[in-house]
């Protein structure tokens, strides 16, 4: 198997050395070059034509975010961002992921991480996954209009529950999720007739930045979920990193419940946990949506939910727009998807289904 060519961009000589060693010791990669700042990174990406770029967020001359934007225009290639856990770092990382980067890795102890080895496995896994992403194709297709004849028709056409029933939307996503959520949530109408619960696989700290960014861009209200709060129509609740999120019934209302039970298949928050919690809801019209992401989180939870509530409608993102076609593919392969849609038609379908 051919080695994956990687360009490492970081202003720290120590970090360049450590990341190079981590990747080359793995056996699947060869580092074809290193760059000392964003400008150097853009030039070497065009010259060396790597399969993947690892990009530090905060650098002199040209920071990682600006370098990313230039690379996406001049030589589109999968980029994995390396970020500190500072507030500035998380904000920049969310912006990078929402505008072109495939994924991100947090440095364990800030800008120059002396214990970068702690995330050795994460670095290798995320760079390997990123190498499979066709960035130019995916970005163009995600923005393009998909002709109606190319849309996969519903696998089933279940009858809609009573219009009088209460409504809820639940969304699950992972790698590539911030960009997908940006396209879907910003297109939702202000008068959306349901609350929306979202699980995005992310570490603590980053979900607050994601929520704030989406809130500024959307007609609906977007916020990081809080334990015990009542859910309102037209509001999107994003599970905080490091916490499972469940939705529970309290009288006539729905309440957010957060906990730090053990991760499920390595995930906390877990989409399975969210979907499974909906099994207890009675007389609710529920629409689930599974977007881009590696693995199969959400499949077991949706299987249980559909068994308990045959009126649940489920949407899976099509391969044409998914950055990583793992989670939605699993939903489709298990026969759980009622609709398979590209991102640019997801919001209108969600709105239609909960009218």
User: Which residues are catalytically annotated?
Assistant: 174, 201, 297
The answer to whether the beta carbons of residues 186 and 222 sit under 8 Å apart is no
Give, for 353, the enclosing helix (H) or strand (E). Answer: helix 346-353
Distance, in Å, from the CA atom of 22 to the CA atom of 257, rounded to the nearest integer, reads 39
Question: 217, 210, 216, 297: which is closest to 225 by C-alpha?
Answer: 210
Distance, in Å, from the CA atom of 65 to the CA atom of 330, rounded to the nearest integer, reads 32
Distance, in Å, from the CA atom of 63 to the CA atom of 76, rounded to the nearest integer, reads 17
DSSP string, 210-263: HHHHHHHH-SSEEEE--TTPBP-TTEEEEPPTT-EEEEEEETTEEEEEEE-PPP
Q: What is the DSSP letter of 260?
A: -
């Amino acid at each position: 198997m051919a080695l994956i060519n990687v360009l490492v961009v970081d202003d720290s000589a120590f970090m360049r050395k450590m990341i190079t060693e981590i990747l080359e010791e793995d056996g699947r990669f060869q580092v074809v070059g290193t760059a000392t700042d964003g400008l150097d990174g853009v030039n070497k990406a065009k010259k060396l034509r790597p399969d993947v770029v690892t990009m530090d967020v905060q650098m002199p001359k040209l920071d990682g975010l600006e370098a990313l934007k230039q690379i996406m225009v001049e030589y589109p290639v999968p980029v994995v961002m390396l970020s500190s856990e500072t507030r500035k770092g998380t904000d920049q990382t969310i912006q990078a992921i929402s505008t072109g980067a495939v994924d991100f890795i947090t440095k364990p102890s800030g800008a120059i991480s002396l214990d970068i080895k702690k995330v050795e496995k994460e670095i290798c896994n995320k760079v390997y996954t990123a190498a499979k992403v066709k960035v130019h194709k995916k970005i163009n297709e995600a923005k393009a209009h998909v002709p109606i004849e190319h849309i996969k028709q519903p696998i089933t056409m279940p009858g809609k529950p009573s219009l009088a029933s209460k409504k809820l939307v639940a969304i699950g996503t992972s790698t590539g999720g911030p960009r997908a959520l940006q396209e879907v949530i910003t297109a939702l109408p202000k008068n959306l007739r349901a609350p929306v619960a979202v699980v995005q696989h992310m570490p603590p700290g980053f979900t607050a930045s994601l929520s704030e960014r989406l809130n500024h861009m959307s007609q609906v209200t977007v916020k990081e979920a809080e334990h015990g709060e009542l859910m309102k129509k037209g509001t999107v609740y994003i599970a905080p990193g490091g916490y499972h999120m469940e939705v529970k019934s309290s009288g006539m209302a729905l309440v957010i419940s957060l906990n730090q039970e053990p991760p499920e298949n390595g995930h906390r928050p877990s989409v399975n946990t969210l979907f499974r919690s909906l099994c207890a809801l009675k007389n609710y019209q529920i629409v689930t949506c599974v977007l881009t992401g590696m693995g199969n989180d959400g499949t077991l939870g949706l299987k249980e939910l559909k068994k308990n509530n045959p009126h649940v409608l489920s949407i899976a993102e099509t391969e044409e727009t998914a950055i990583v076609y793992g989670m939605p593919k699993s939903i489709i392969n298990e026969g759980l998807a009622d609709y398979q849609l590209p991102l640019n038609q997801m919001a209108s379908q969600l709105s239609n289904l909960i009218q």
